[in-house]
Chains A and B, each alone.
Chain A
Amino acid sequence: MEIKILGSGCQKCIKLAEATEQAAKELGIEINLEKVTDIEKIMSYSVMSTPALVVDGVVKIKGRVPSKDEIKKILS
């Protein structure tokens, strides 16, 4: 699964990345996680509030850090 975390390196982006990695690990899913910090690239996803979670090119969460369980639901 291709996962992208969008955000300009704020505290919450780091938290979202950690939570996503955790969730994937617990589900036993292989993911390829990339952090996107470039503002122009973030914009190309039509996202206005960071952090955002993008799974296989689709924006799933934006502007908040979801709980691990919520991420698990999105990933599975």
Chain B
Amino acid sequence: MNIFNWLNSILLKMDWLSHLVKIFTEQVLQLDSKERFGASVHFFIYDVIKIFILLSVLIFFISWVQSFFPPERTKKILGNMSGLKAKIVGALMGTITPFCSCSSIPLFIGFTNAGLPVAVTFSFLISSPLVDLASVILLASIFNWPIALAYVITGIVMAVIGGSIIGQAKMERYIEDFVLKNKMEDLEQEELSIKERTQFAVDQVKDVFQRVWIYVVIGVGIGATIHNWIPEDVISALIGKDKWWSVIVATIMGVPMYADIFGTLPIAEALVKKGVGLGTALAFMMSVTALSLPSIVMLKKVVKMPLLVMFIGITSTGIIIIGYLFNTFDYLFF
């Protein structure tokens, strides 16, 4: 076993935690972890603790990085680029921006107001909830590195293509007037000290934690239930690998749901273990996080119906395509 694998199993998979929880389940709770109920309890405790640890550490580091890229700076970087490069960088910037749609809408307004092309702002808007550094590491932890990397690349490609289509279709006219009127000034950039950056990162961890812990608990709960209680044939009859409609059903089911990517990962994990196609599980995860009623309601305030419909259409089509791609090529990953 090389050093990379070793680090991977200690830091990401946390095998030691799995062993500890197993001892706890068997010795303290007196449950047989091979038996159904004990296994559910083990899965639940282990996954919740693992996700909480990863979440806190990751958000701390990402927020630290983020503090070097305040929106004003991102805006300037993007403003100096054009064409495909601007769209790709826009999508990449989406991966290090904040974690909730309530903060990406003001960014969208700021970028549009500054005259950035719609293609770039939408590349950003599509990738922002879908791909973030934390979700990549979690994917690597729950599945493996190739899956995590493939997820990022397809997510970014989808954001760039989606943004380009919206740009080609000249959808600028469907952005609410107030976004373009009243030019926003460039506010002065404040230089943060190390202490302030640390404070910012700690605040982010607390904030994200408070917001998502319930989704994680619910997500892991659902995951544990799927894992141990729902018969495999019921699941495969609905969204099994051999069902052509599985990806579409998973995507549509995910759209109205609102949860954080941290909460949906354990569900995706359990689905894959039950023989659901990797692409189907990822499509479900992507549609839950990229499209949700609250974020659609937010977006409705800044864009008009045709653009909103197009955004939802393109994003869900993209998710479905990615789902089928992963299902077709999933033999590459396991």
Closest to B206 in A: A11
Q: Is A48 a contact partner of B203 (Cβ separation < 8 A)?
A: no
Q: Is A46 a contact partner of B187 (Cβ separation < 8 A)?
A: yes
Q: Does B283 interact with chain A (Cβ within 8 Å)?
A: no
Number of chain B residues whose Cβ lies closer than 8 Å to a Cβ of chain A: 31
Q: Is A63 a contact partner of B187 (Cβ separation < 8 A)?
A: no
Q: Is A65 a contact partner of B113 (Cβ separation < 8 A)?
A: no
Closest to B192 in A: A64
With contact pairs A39-B302, A63-B70 given, residues A12 and B203 touching in the complex (Cβ less than 8 Å)? yes
Number of chain A residues whose Cβ lies closer than 8 Å to a Cβ of chain B: 21
* Complex interface: chain A residues within 8 A of B178 (CB): 40, 43
Q: Does A42 interact with chain B (Cβ within 8 Å)?
A: yes
> Contact check: which of B102, B187, B199, B298 meets A62 at CB < 8 Å?
B187
Q: Is B106 a contact partner of A43 (Cβ separation < 8 A)?
A: yes
Q: Main SS of chain B's interface residues?
A: helix
Q: Is B207 a contact partner of A48 (Cβ separation < 8 A)?
A: no
CA A46 – CA B113 in complex, angstroms? 10
With contact pairs A8-B102, A10-B102, A48-B110 given, residues A43 and B199 touching in the complex (Cβ less than 8 Å)? no
Q: Does B105 interact with chain A (Cβ within 8 Å)?
A: yes
Q: What are 16 of the A-B contact pairs (CB < 8 Å)? A: A11-B211, A43-B110, A46-B184, A46-B186, A46-B187, A47-B187, A48-B71, A48-B107, A49-B71, A49-B107, A50-B102, A50-B103, A59-B187, A64-B196, A64-B203, A65-B203
Given contacts A43-B113, A44-B182, A46-B184, 5 further A-B contacts (CB under 8 A): A8-B105, A11-B207, A46-B186, A48-B106, A59-B187
